Amino acid sequence: MSKHAEPKKTSKRTPHGPDSRANAAAAATDTPAEDEYRITDPGEFARNMVRVGIQSQRILGDYLKNQAAKFGSEPLDPLNLASTFMDLLRGMVADPSAIMEAQFALWRDYMGLWERTARRMMGGEAQSSVLPLPGDKRFKDRDWQENQIFDFIKQSYLLTANWLQSTVARVEGLDPQSRRRIEFYTKQFADAFAPTNFVLTNPEVLRATLKSNGENLVRGLNNLLEDLDRGQGQLSIRQTTEAFTVGKDIATAPGKVIFRNELIELLQYAPSTRETYQRPLLIFPPWINKFYILDLRPENSFIRWSVAQGYTVFVASWVNPEGKLAKKTFEDYMREGIFAGLDAVEKATGIKDPNVIGYCIGGTLLASTLAYMAAKNDNRIHSATFFAAQADFSEAGDLQIFIDDVQLEALEEQMTASGGVLEGRRMATTFNMLRANDLIWSFVVNNYLLGRDPVPFDLLYWNSDTTRMPEATHLFYLREFYKNNALARGELMLGGVKLDLSKVKVPIYLQSAKDDHIAPYRSVYKTTQLVKGPVRFILAGSGHIAGVVNPPSAKKYQHWTNDKLPPKVENWLAGAKEHPGSWWTDWDAWLAPLSGKKIPARKPGDGKLKPLGDAPGTYVMVKAQ
């Protein structure tokens, strides 16, 4: 029977009388779903289990060999877990009565679960004592609800996971940073041990295993071996197929490379309108990822859309650095990135003060640069737009969990051992941990347990196309922004200048997203209170990526606006108006009056800079591990 087959009808009737409950229970469990949990070919199943055993032995051997080779060359506890959970243990020992109460509460809840399960087995109505959170996709298979055994497994797991996390959250005597790390890693532990991640306790995987006589596990182990080989001994989970080619399927907006230095290639895009605004638009994406998040497919390309609105668009494509650039500093990124980009745009268009966009860390660099320029009376930026970018890091989200002295020292050791760069896969692992169920465990189940290939998905292809970080720049960013919050405090030094955001007076547009876990909207909003020029703040639906890349044609999500900027974001939200669909049109309405008159459309090469090659350029093609 297939996974979605309808139950067969039976002619049995449940008799009334003393044995009616037993008969009802039998009828409830005697469903055709049982057919899906039977081995179809015992011989083939046995042969595949032997293959699984052999492959597993090889994987374990290779892993142990790899770990032995690395022993002594890497920090033993790079995430500082030992200290974190010692803090938890001390807090628990200090209040044993609270732990006893929590254990009693767990026992009581289990008794309630057993009682409801027994009642259901006797023919009673199915009742759930605990349900997955909205948006939890792990338990969507029908048997998590319809099959008594799997429903009990699901509820017992959720009950235990919720109890574990709530108990840890109530431990007294922890400083805020330790508490945050403990809660984060406790959730990581609970997510890792979910029944969905194991063959015998995931109904979809178990059915697939029995139906295919274990072929799914053989394929899954082959996928696992390929991922280990690709990661050179480290697990590099494939999130999508290699079905995309940069410049052919994605990053296809027509344009030219018009400038190149050690840090950026500057792309100028071809116009799609007869006239364009006089003042060009210069975009600085994050160098933590590649620029083409803003130019995935034609239908969701922010770059194509902006060109279609009449803007002359320039985009910085950051280099994927190797060890020779390890000593490039945050100041170098300002001078060879933003300043070099401004100079190139002036040569290409004759306009010295374009409108500028900074996305994520590119926005943090832009905010720092604006403060530096204000101190130098440099007015080469006419307006600034920030996509999901922070200047005040006092509430910077879960990434702060990875920032303390011990972890930063361990990170510095790893980067030095890697030739002065942070390898892309390490950065990717950190970001994936922030959404482990979606970006780690769902692929473990799909790729390794079900033995399937991941589906083609442009966004996940981009997410997997990682970049390296130069040591000096990355450590400065983590220490000065995430750890010390030096920019917001007026303590950050660049080029011998102490930066003061209150001197920034250019018009600013701040985009944030409701579910952003990397740049939380509460953190982004703080910029409204730091700068002194006119500011427009909007809140978009979705998260760090989909909240930004949301074209009007998609008619997805929503956004909120409020012309007032009270000190607290809660007050802003209370007075905000919700609008359906994309925020891009709101931004266009804000930017157009700042962009000057319309002129005949410029083409790449019309100015003093001649094309060096076609977009998307060469820097974006460099792969990282």
Of the CA atoms within 13 Å of residue 473, those in its CB half-sphere come to 29
Alpha helices in 437-553 (DSSP H): 442-443, 458-464, 471-477, 521-525
Q: Distance between terminal CA atoms of the chain?
A: 43
CB 375 within 8 A of CB 500: yes
Peptide bond before residue 15 is cis, with ω within 30 degrees of 0: no
Q: CA 341, CA 284: separation in Å to the nearest integer?
A: 9
402 backbone dihedrals φ, ψ, rounded to 5°: -90, 5
C-beta separation of 582 from 552 below 8 A: yes
**Pairwise CA distance, residues 418 & 211, whole Å:** 45
Query: In 575-623, where do the E strands start and end?
Result: 577-580, 598-600, 613-614
Residue 517: C-alpha distances to residues 146, 316, 360, 474, 477 (Å): 34, 25, 12, 20, 18
Residues 6 or more apart in contact with residue 527 via CB below 8 angstroms: 367, 386, 390, 391, 392, 501, 508, 510, 535
Give the H or E element holding residue 386. strand 383-387
Rounded to whole angstroms, the Cα distance separating 448 from 183 reads 28
Active-site hit among 217, 360, 539, 549: 360
Angstrom distances, CA of residue 466 to CA of 425, 429, 560: 7, 10, 32
CA dist 316 and 313 (Å) reads: 10
User: To the nearest 10°, the Cα dihedral for 112, 114, 117, 122?
Assistant: -110
Beta strands per DSSP E along 272-330? 275-277, 281-284, 313-318
**3-state SS of 139-192?**
CCCCHHHHCHHHHHHHHHHHHHHHHHHHHHHCCCCCCHHHHHHHHHHHHHHHHH
Alpha carbon 133 to chain centroid, angstroms? 19
Exposed e or buried b for every residue in 209-230, given b needs 16+ CB within 10 A? bbbbbbbbbbbbbebbeebbee
d(CA 74, CA 581): 48
Q: With beta carbons less than 8 A apart as the criterion, state whether 590 and 563 touch.
A: no
Burial class (CB in 10 A: 0-12, 13-18, 19+), 130: middle
Examine the residue annotation and report whether 360 is marked as an active-site residue of this protein. Answer: yes
- Backbone Cα Rg of the chain: 28
- Residue 70: in which H helix or E strand, if any? helix 42-70
Residue that has been written with the tokens 């929590």 in this structure: 102
CA 431, 437, 443, 445 dihedral sign is positive
Q: Provide the residue type at 344 as one letter.
A: A
Q: Across the strands, what pairs with 264?
A: 318
* Enzyme catalytic residues: 360
